[in-house]
Amino acid sequence: MMKGFYNLTSGMLTQGRRLDVVAHNMTNITSAGYKADRYTDRTFDEVMAVRVGNKDKSPYWEMGTTQSHILAPDQIYTDFEQGSLEQTDLPLDFAIWGDGFFAVQRDGAVSYTRSGSFTLDDDGYLCLSELGQVLDPEGNPIQLYTDKINADAAGNIYTEDGDYLATLGVFAFEDNGALERDDYGLFVGQGAQPTQEATIRHKWVERSNVDMVREMVNMMTAQRALQSAAQMSKIYDQVINKATNDIGRL
């Protein structure tokens, strides 16, 4: 009986976490350059089998009737799949096609983003919506003074008369999976290197890679599983109460 309670409670906590991730993704579906989070879990026994003992997990044996179905969080990871590009015709909008990130400096710290919906601050520096100044490949802030610009596929920015102004920095990591999202929705990590392999699209932005249909399906599945677990827990509670109050008198 108690094992059933543990399994149901585990299921409710798991579905609650999954709903939190889905809600965060759906909230940011219109955020330029946003990358969706994914939630995965494993049973407690699977986690223990991976974390305990030698690195070589073969051969292994099934745990039989003692096997637990209690779920434990595995990881929440970011899906860095390319989002679709949308033409905006705004002079300070840029999109990356391929692997890489724009670099943004705030209070001396550098973060990375796929959002290229930029503006100019009061000093004429290219910036990301008050989150920081955009950097060139050498790590220096980009000062334009004007939004009357043109840009090529390499990220070189020119005036309308063809005078060179600056170059947008695009930075790549060996493993995007090592990046962590900060409090501002930007990514932080070590080992960023300037890259020229990505293509810059001027007056375009990359849209969120969140799939609304997928998120809706995940939300409905998690909600139904959560409701079922909650109803079953009520039945368990009623059975225990009956056993305590009625059968206990015999």
Question: Does residue 3 fall inside a structural domain?
Answer: no
Q: b or e along 44-60 (b: 16 or more beta carbons within 10 Å of the residue's beta carbon)?
A: bbebeeeeeeeeeeeee
Q: Which pLDDT value is given to residue 98?
A: 94
Question: Does residue 2 fall inside a structural domain?
Answer: no
Q: Could you tell me if 185 and 108 lie in one domain?
A: yes
Q: What is the 3-state secondary structure (H, E, C) of 139-192?
A: CCECECCCCCEEECCCCEEEECCCCEEEECCEEECCCHHHCEECCCCCEECCCC
Q: Contact, 43 vs 72, CB < 8 A? A: yes
How many structural domains comprise the chain? 2
Q: Could you tell me if 101 and 169 lie in one domain?
A: yes
Q: Could you tell me if 176 and 231 lie in one domain?
A: no
Question: Does residue 32 fall inside a structural domain?
Answer: yes
Q: Could you tell me if 108 and 200 lie in one domain?
A: yes
Q: Could you tell me if 148 and 227 lie in one domain?
A: no
Question: Does residue 5 fall inside a structural domain?
Answer: no
Q: Could you tell me if 215 and 180 lie in one domain?
A: no
For the chain, the distance separating the N- and C-terminal CA atoms, rounded to the nearest angstrom, is 20
Question: Does residue 240 fall inside a structural domain?
Answer: yes
Q: Could you tell me if 162 and 193 lie in one domain?
A: yes
Q: Contact, 202 vs 150, CB < 8 A? A: yes
Q: Which residues of the chain have pLDDT under 70?
A: 1-8, 42-74, 236-237, 240, 243-244, 246-250
Q: Quick check: helix, strand or coil at residue 106?
A: strand
Domain that holds residue 28: 10-81+210-249
Q: Which pLDDT value is given to residue 5?
A: 57
Question: Does residue 50 fall inside a structural domain?
Answer: yes
Alpha carbons within 13 A on the beta-carbon side of 220: 5
Q: Could you tell me if 16 and 107 lie in one domain?
A: no
Please state the pTM of the whole predicted model. Answer: 0.75
Question: Does residue 229 fall inside a structural domain?
Answer: yes
Question: Does residue 20 fall inside a structural domain?
Answer: yes
Q: Which pLDDT value is given to residue 229?
A: 74
Beta bridge partner(s), residue 157: 151, 166
How many whole angstroms separate alpha carbon 217 and alpha carbon 220?
5
Q: Could you tell me if 47 and 96 lie in one domain?
A: no
Q: Could you tell me if 159 and 195 lie in one domain?
A: yes
Q: Could you tell me if 17 and 53 lie in one domain?
A: yes
Q: Contact, 157 vs 168, CB < 8 A? A: yes
- 123 φ/ψ angles, rounded to the nearest 5 degrees: -95, 10
Q: Could you tell me if 76 and 171 lie in one domain?
A: no
